[in-house]
Amino acid sequence: MTIRVVIADDQSLVRTGLRMILDNADDIEVVGEAGDGAEAVALVADLDPDVVLMDIRMPEVDGVEATAAIAAAHRARVLVLTTFDLDEYVYAALRAGASGFLLKDALAPDLLAGVRVVASGEATLAPTVTRRLLDRVVTGLPAAPPDDRLALLTGRENEVLRQLARGLSNAEIAELLFLSPGTVKTHVGRILTKLGLRDRVQAVVFAYESGLISR
């Protein structure tokens, strides 16, 4: 199945470079380009792509606002493109519903792999990178009261969520908790459903913001 992609970046040269890389993949098709966030949201509504490559810093409507609008109303998953991996805007985009981020200087194979992983419903970035980002940004925020949604989780689901937030993969969680990888995957799915989250990245953000993870 072909993965349909919209590219959103205010620099035409960047869009051209990304399109050249994506067009070389047999399973990816660039269906549209946007020069700002508002145009990106409109294209998503019109074209219903699988993935949006979203620049963060754009004039008028930026990538964070556009990501929030897309995550709230459309099935498309957002893969944020940024120059800095520890950018506070990246955290805002993840919080708004992005499924991960890539640096703009990522190698072509990494970009293609990221698009494919996001299209499959997973998160594209290594959980350790997410945690490093959250450690830097979230620790500067006021302490949040415990989130009532935590009460929806069983004890085992709570522990799996803690390990997700630590940056462990399903296989690592399975080994640590003496479970099968399939059982861990089931727990992760139930956690996302109960908490109303889109993917693992959102689960990690929730774990920090809910007070589950000590700052």
Which of 158, 165, 163, 141 has its CA nearest to residue 194?
A: 158
pLDDT value of position 39: 95
State the DSSP code for 81: E
Query: Do residues 187 and 160 touch, judged by C-beta distance below 8 A?
Result: yes
CA dihedral defined by 45, 46, 51, 55, rounded to 10 degrees? -80
C-alpha to C-alpha distance for 212 and 60, rounded to whole angstroms: 36
Tokens representing residue 91 in the block: 């955290």
Residues near 159 by Cβ (< 8 Å), separated by ≥ 6? 177
pLDDT value of position 214: 62
Residues near 200 by Cβ (< 8 Å), separated by ≥ 6? 122, 123, 127, 164, 188, 192
Residues near 148 by Cβ (< 8 Å), separated by ≥ 6? none
Which of 197, 209, 215 has its CA nearest to residue 145?
A: 209
C-alpha to C-alpha distance for 11 and 187, rounded to whole angstroms: 42
Kind and range of the H or E run holding 7: strand 3-8
pLDDT value of position 112: 93
pLDDT value of position 205: 82
Tokens representing residue 139 in the block: 């620790």
Query: Do residues 63 and 88 touch, judged by C-beta distance below 8 A?
Result: no
Query: Do residues 127 and 204 touch, judged by C-beta distance below 8 A?
Result: yes
pLDDT value of position 137: 62
Which of 65, 64, 102 has its CA nearest to residue 84?
A: 102
Tokens representing residue 176 in the block: 């640590």
Tens digit of each residue's pLDDT, the chain (215 residues) = 899 999 999 999 999 999 999 999 999 999 999 999 999 999 999 999 999 999 988 888 889 999 999 998 899 999 998 886 666 787 888 888 898 888 888 889 989 998 998 898 776 665 556 666 666 666 665 666 667 888 999 999 999 999 988 778 888 899 999 999 999 999 999 999 999 988 888 888 888 788 787 64
Which of 31, 41, 29, 33 has its CA nearest to residue 3?
A: 29
